[in-house]
Amino acid sequence: MKTFRHWHQNKNFHFALLTLPGALFLLIFLILPLISILVFSFWRTESYELIADWNIENYKTILGEKTYLTFIWRSLVMAVSVSLVCLIYAYPVAYLVAKRGGRYRLILVLLTAAPFFTGIILRVTAIQQILGPIGLLNMALQTFGLEPIQILMYSNVASAIGLVYLWIPFMMLAIYLSLLNFNFKLLEVAYVNGAKPWRAFLEVTWPLNWIGTAIGIVLVFIPTFAAFVTPRFLGGVNGALYGNILEHQFGATGTWALGSAMGVVLFVICLIFILIIWRTINLQRSGYTGEEF
């Protein structure tokens, strides 16, 4: 008995050792930068230099000046709409692949990740080639003597299109993985018991796949809220989002302290969003049985 327990404790210890490299990596490259940003956010910058002069002026600026609040609001609207559009587009596709994909399921899912084979800048530039003033779409329209579509050229709508295109694979994958474990026979049960197809979806499919869907929403919301590359390429002069002015603080203006505070605000807003989503998840209402698989 003693040897067994000894072995058992040993085993747990060995497993703990295995987590060490990962934990160390996270500590150095995630936790420490976060702490430093938090610290810098309470300092101030003068002539491109950080000065350890503790104050909360940066936060007063961000939360008190209308300009910054406008950018937060813009990014929030952008993140919510892009998440919604991704959800509406991705759900039917994920559903179809999970239900009818058969043995091609895996390939079909991998295909949605194909854009990841190239870099983000390349992909955004590609979209520019389609939507821009001399892009495919507007060139084609002009060939037929039609006016170019202004709203698709350097606007927030163009940014939104680019962001949807960028992040939709995450939404697809999250919903698809959830549907993979969904018992589609439950829908037949709903039909026989008097539920029309849309009702069966709302009563059965949606709640039973809400966790996967929620993960997809978070995975799209956060990078969209922090986006700066896409709006810079597609948004044009008036299309700047919160991410752009945040990036600006670390570049041209060199106000690192204010930038850090903006980063903290971004982080907190994302955290609040995750918390709100998390509150909607009731494990039992999601069909979670507590069984280990």
Partner 1 sequence: MTEPALKLAQVEKTFGKVRAVDQISLDVGQGEFFSLLGPSGSGKTTLLRIIAGLETPGDGRVHVGGRDVTRLPPYARGIGMVFQDFLLFPHKIVAENITFPLKMQKLPASQKKEQLDWVLRLVRMEGFENRYPHQLSGGQKQRVALARGLVARPDILLLDEPLANLDLELRKEMEVEMRRFQAGLDIPFIYVTHNQEEALTLSSRMAVMHEGKFEQVGAKLDLYNRPTTRFVASFLGSPNHILGRIKRVEDEIAILDWKGLDLRIPVPSNAKNGDKIDYFLKHEKVLVQPLREADPPREKNRFECTLRDIIFKGQHSDYFVVLKNGEELVGSAAVDPQSLKIRQAVEVSWLPQAGDAFLAENN
Residues at the interface with partner 1 (CB under 8 A): 183, 185-186, 188-196, 199, 203-204, 207-208, 284-287, 289-291
- Euclidean distance between CA atoms 117 and 132, whole angstroms: 23
| CB 245 to partner 1: min, Å | 43
Nearest alpha carbon to residue 172 among 97, 274, 278:
97
| CB 99 to partner 1: min, Å | 15
Cross-strand pairs, 46:
49
| CB 181 to partner 1: min, Å | 11
- Measured from the CB atom, the residue of 147 and 291 that comes closer to partner 1 is 291
| CB 280 to partner 1: min, Å | 13
Contact 172, 112 (CB under 8 A): yes
- Measured from the CB atom, the residue of 55 and 282 that comes closer to partner 1 is 282
- Measured from the CB atom, the residue of 98 and 160 that comes closer to partner 1 is 98
- Measured from the CB atom, the residue of 211 and 262 that comes closer to partner 1 is 211
- Measured from the CB atom, the residue of 118 and 183 that comes closer to partner 1 is 183
| CB 170 to partner 1: min, Å | 25
Cross-strand pairs, 50:
45
Q: Where are the alpha helices (DSSP H) in the chain?
A: 2-18, 20-26, 32-40, 57-64, 66-100, 105-112, 120-131, 136-143, 156-180, 185-192, 197-200, 206-208, 210-225, 229-230, 242-250, 256-279
